[in-house]
Amino acid sequence: MNLPRRIAVAAIFFPLTLWAQAQSILGFTPASAAHESAIESKFKSIPTPDEERRQHRIFTREPHIAGSKRNNELAEYIRDEWIKQGLEDVIIRRYDVYGTNPKSASLEMTAPTHYQALLKETPLPGDEDSKNPAISGAWLGMSISGEVTAPVVYAHSGNPEDYDLLRKNGISVKGKIVLVRYSNPYSYRGFKALTAQREGAAAILIYSDPAEDGYKKGKVDPDGPWGPEYHIQRGSITYDFMVPGDPQTPGWASVPGAKRIPIADAISAPKIMALPLSWHDAKPLLENMDGPVAPSDWQGGLPFQYHLGGERVKAHLKIEMSNGLQPYYVVEGRIRGADLPDEWVVLGNHRDAWVFGAVDPSSGTASMMELTRALGDLKKQGMRPRRTVIVCSWDGEEIGLTGSTEWGEQFADDLRSKAVAYINVDEATSGPEFHGQAVASLAPMLAETTRSLQDPSGKSLYDAWKETVEREREGQRSTQFSDSGVVSETLADTRIGSGSDHTVFLNFIGMPVIGLGFEGDYGVYHSAYDDFFWMNHFGDPGYRYHTLMSQLWGVTALRLANADLLPFDFATYADNIRQFVNDLAKNNPAILSGGKAGAKDPTTVCATCSASETKSDPLNLSDVRKSIDAFESAGKNLNQSLTQKLAEGKLDPQLAATLNHGMMQAERNWLNPDGIPGRPWFKHILYGARFTYAHLELPGLTEAVEKQDWPTARQQAEILERALEKNTRLLEQMNSSLSQ
């Protein structure tokens, strides 16, 4: 506890240059960096594993699905705690949304033999919580109600190409029940549901194959972290890749009394029955199927050959849902900024869980509660951040990213003018491996921040992170690696898809985002076994990673909140955008070489092609590439001037304000108000998500290229070029204001 104070005193006596060398922080003058280090040391000393564990137990004691009494009580608990901790303007915001709840579900195999599916998770020895009578049965959020008796077809992962293969084998799924497995390769279950709906299936059953998260991976709960026989992966099937949030208020907030569209017209509301299964319940169906033997990559971990099915196995499925209007509650608190109260750093984590949610999301919630306690303590000791830090506990993330989306839509105008960044933590801890995501402009500052934290292994978090990234390098294509395969110094994964609460901030509001999480072997996702027992035996028994998350999340926020000049790096951004364009070219060689696939090296064809050569090309990205080059050199020049200015140590507040607003504006300039073609809600032109939730860079351009819709592709390329030019001009203006 005394350490930070000693550091603060030492700072005064150290020669400034020496100190600057030891403690330089992106965006800070040497004097403010020394001050910041002292604040951070103080901050880092506050969260403790015991408190993390105590908070975690509170959130994991009972199931707390969105809209439930327990989840609403937890909202009140957070509000009361935050007030005690010293947060300001603490408020619970209500949104009346189209929610989803199960009433009943039954599944029986009627032929060739009879089997009544259990649709329940059995208690595990030693795990008292697994006996809780409040644990729900099998259900998927936003399934429709209905009843059908029909043959069952095995459709592998339920992706479009899987149905093509069934068709080739003469198997139709029209009016039938399709049985698909979860993640091979991973795709969001809502996309599986939409695909089944488009194929005309009557219902979709989604089961957890032991090859993916069960005994084929390793020891299962209660002896190991993988999913046991009866575990059921609940989840929503909302088509939130079309538009997230309340399906009846696309693009505006569901404040009480808001205008609502009919549910029949809501494009994100599924129109199919859907149910998840444990492998225990899927086994009798798979085992009895007729039809051709499924291809080898369709085979799974159960001890028999999988067939495509289609006739022999028949099932009777009945689902009764209670879908309709219900209130969700977002808790919001803040520490008002001492100098710049109208510049906001926003932090968030969702509260709602499928059952106990020990990893997802309560590990994040526990880390958030220790983070807010530490922020409150600093404030009580007179260390208020320069900018305002806002912290939110979202509701209904699991249903359709609902709470964060409605809140973001409600405050979109304020956020577009005031917000610096959003830092999301969903699952804080399922193991020891750090994964950090960041919009490229913030990747350098995130990497630098991890250098100042210690991993429980004894290394710096940066070194531990680097080892993880290097281990994962094999077979992975990512911006973390340059073309030569060398791990980039910034480490962060800059390819950001959807699937959590950052979505509204990045894709709708145009805020740069960071996402933080520690990961490990985790086979109980969205099941009742994702509970306190699991966390204390496998995920983070010592709560050291929870503690580290509070520290990391808080220090990252403090750096953004206290920086003299916001630590955005636009040269890194430019290089990242160039990689996005390179990837687009690599993945679509025929297109960018004018239909002559393989005629030239696809990675260089457009960088090198002259205007005359490419006249016949459907799409020429050489102007985009030139704009990226210009943006990069403006970014480099600005970086140089900013570094110099900060090193001088004197900053005129008016100049700092101009520069900071410029940097915030640059992020907003990536928005196209019309959105990407077909999905107007998604407005960011650099980042988007596929229907599977997978990251999708340059979404409007990429989707047009993939469809070979050249007029749209050219139009999207022009939009990108214009945004690059606008931001180049902005950076040049900022740079010239520095030299005046």
Residues that bind Zn ion (CB under 5 A): 360-361, 426
* Alpha-carbon gap, residue 466 to 451, rounded angstroms: 11
Residue 612 CB, shortest distance to Zn ion, in Å, is: 53
Residue whose CB is less far from Zn ion, 361 or 662: 361
Nearest to 52 by CA among 601, 546, 608: 546
Q: How crowded is the C-beta side of 37, counted as CA atoms within 13 Å? A: 25
CA distances from 523 to 563, 609, 739 (A): 40, 49, 56
How near is the Cβ of 399 to Zn ion at its closest, in Å?
11
Q: Is 243 in contact with 250 (CB distance < 8 Å)?
A: yes
- For the chain, give the number of residues: 740
Q: For Zn ion, which is the closer residue by CB, 386 or 526? A: 526
Rounded to the nearest whole angstrom, what is the least distance from the CB of residue 371 to Zn ion in the complex? 17
Burial (CB < 10 A; 0-12, 13-18, 19+), residue 740, is exposed
Q: Tokens for 77, please give them.
A: 């608990």
- Minimum CB distance to Zn ion, residue 631 (Å): 35
Nearer to Zn ion, 63 or 635 (CB): 63
In the complex, least distance from residue 379 CB atom to Zn ion, rounded to whole angstroms: 29
- Return d(Cα 446, Cα 516) in angstroms, integer: 10
Looking at beta carbons only, is 350 or 379 nearer to Zn ion? 350
Going 355 to 356 to 357 to 359, the CA torsion angle's sign is: negative
Q: Which is nearer to Zn ion, 51 or 360 (CB)?
A: 360
Q: From CA 20, how far away is CA 32, in angstroms rounded?
A: 10
Is 701 within 8 Å of 609 (Cβ atoms)? Answer: no
Q: How far is CA 104 from the centre of its chain?
A: 31
The minimum distance between CB 322 and Zn ion, in angstroms, equals 23
CB of 397 to Zn ion, least distance (A): 6
CB nearer to Zn ion: pick between 29 and 363: 363
Least distance (Å) from Zn ion to the CB of residue 236? 11
CA distances from 192 to 179, 237, 275, 570, 632 (A): 10, 8, 12, 37, 40
- The residue type of 84 is K
Nearer to Zn ion, 162 or 426 (CB): 426
At 281, phi and psi to the nearest 5?
-80, -25
Nearer residue to Zn ion within complex by CB, 51 or 426: 426
Instruction: Give dist(CA 108, CA 118) in Å, integer.
Output: 9
Residue with Cβ nearer Zn ion (343 or 360):
360
Nearer to Zn ion, 67 or 444 (CB): 67
Report, in Å, the least distance between residue 356 CB and Zn ion.
13
**What CA–CA distance (Å, rounded) separates 392 from 424?**
10
40 three-state secondary structure: helix
> What burial class does residue 382 get, using C-beta atoms within 10 Å of its C-beta: 0-12 exposed, 13-18 middle, 19+ buried?
exposed
In the complex, minimum distance from the CB of residue 427 to Zn ion, in angstroms, rounded to a whole number: 6
